[in-house]
């Protein structure tokens, strides 16, 4: 479980070590209460986050304070995993992904939350950087902008063949990139904003060079998400229809 933590500068050997270090900062925030327990979040100055569900079924999962944002219809699969149908402002469906949602435990009993403004981050696991889209396409035979979420395919097909998770295979063009330093550990990591199937943030373990603008990063990642302007449990934006402006933008 700790492999995705390296991409946000939390290179602990065990999840438990990361959680104990976060607790020791006294910077935990209660983001919600449910079933007699709490959902707690640690946010580092670098944007790295640890979400802790301190009640049954108990869960700890990584997150990130995204810069990018998009619209999605959000349906919970379980306490942590959400099916996000990514849509344009006019309602066109771009793709569907499963991701670990920061507010997931608070929405697990709610109906689909439509027109949510979400920030999605890919926490890179095994990635390769190509100098350009042309180089990527020549090397792989794939078109840039690929995003395959097997979890979303399992959920939408109703297949019980495997348990869905937040993993994804992707390729995306880099818009900008920077080094960030995790204040909890002092470890450096790479943060980029990218344009793929939709705009999202990408975090990668530290490396000697930043991915250049217009280069292509491709590989596998864990997808995390956060609702940027949480709506009430009453069904999101209600009846405002098509180009919903209630996301606070």
The average confidence (pLDDT) of the chain is 90
Please give the pLDDT value at position 161: 83
The predicted-structure confidence for 211-233, as pLDDT tens digits, reads as follows: 999 999 999 999 999 999 755 44
Nearest residue to 27 (alpha-carbon basis) of 61, 50, 59, 60? 50
Distance, in Å, from the CA atom of 78 to the CA atom of 189, rounded to the nearest integer, reads 30
Instruction: Express each pLDDT in 98-109 by its tens digit.
Output: 999 999 999 999
pTM of the predicted protein model: 0.90
Place of tokens 């790295």: 48
Q: Where are any strands of DSSP class E within 4-154?
A: 28-34, 37-43, 48-53, 59-64, 70-76, 81-87, 93-101, 113-130, 147-148
Give pLDDT tens digits along the chain (249 positions).
446 899 999 999 888 999 999 999 989 999 999 888 899 999 999 999 999 999 988 999 999 999 999 999 999 999 999 999 999 999 999 999 999 999 999 999 999 999 999 999 999 999 999 999 999 999 999 999 999 999 999 999 998 888 999 999 999 999 999 999 999 999 999 999 999 999 999 999 999 999 999 999 999 999 999 999 755 443 333 333 333 333 333
DSSP labels, 88-115: -TT--EEEEEEEEETTHHHHTTS--EEE
CA-based R_g, the chain, Å: 18
Q: Indicate the domain borders of the chain.
A: 64-227
pLDDT digit string, tens, across residues 25-60: 989 999 999 888 899 999 999 999 999 999 988 999
What pLDDT score does 243 carry? 33
Please report, for the chain, how many H helices and E strands are present, in that order. Answer: 4, 13
């Amino acid at each position: 479980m700790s492999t995705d933590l390296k991409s946000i500068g939390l290179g602990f050997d065990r999840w438990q070590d990361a959680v104990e270090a976060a607790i020791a900062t006294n910077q935990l925030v209660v983001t919600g209460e449910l079933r007699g327990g709490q959902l707690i979040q640690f946010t580092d100055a670098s944007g790295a986050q640890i979400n802790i569900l301190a009640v049954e079924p108990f869960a700890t999962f990584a997150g990130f304070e995204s810069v990018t944002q998009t619209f999605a219809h959000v349906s919970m699969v379980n306490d942590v995993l959400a099916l996000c149908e990514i849509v344009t402002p006019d309602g066109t469906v771009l793709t569907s992904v499963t991701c670990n949602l920061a507010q997931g435990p608070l929405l697990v009993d709610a109906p689909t939350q439509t027109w949510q403004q979400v920030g999605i981050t890919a926490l890179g696991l095994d990635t390769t950087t190509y100098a350009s889209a042309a180089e990527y396409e020549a090397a792989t035979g794939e078109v840039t902008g690929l995003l395959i979420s097997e979890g979303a395919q399992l959920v939408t097909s109703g297949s019980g063949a495997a348990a869905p998770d937040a993993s994804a295979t992707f390729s995306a063009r880099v818009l900008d990139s920077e080094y960030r330093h995790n204040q909890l550990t002092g470890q450096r990591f790479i943060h980029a904003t990218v344009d793929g199937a939709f705009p999202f943030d990408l975090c990668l373990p530290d490396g000697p060079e930043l991915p250049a603008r217009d280069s292509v990063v491709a590989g596998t990642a864990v997808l995390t998400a956060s609702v940027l302007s949480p709506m009430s449990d009453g069904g999101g934006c209600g009846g405002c229809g098509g180009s919903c402006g209630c996301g606070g933008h």
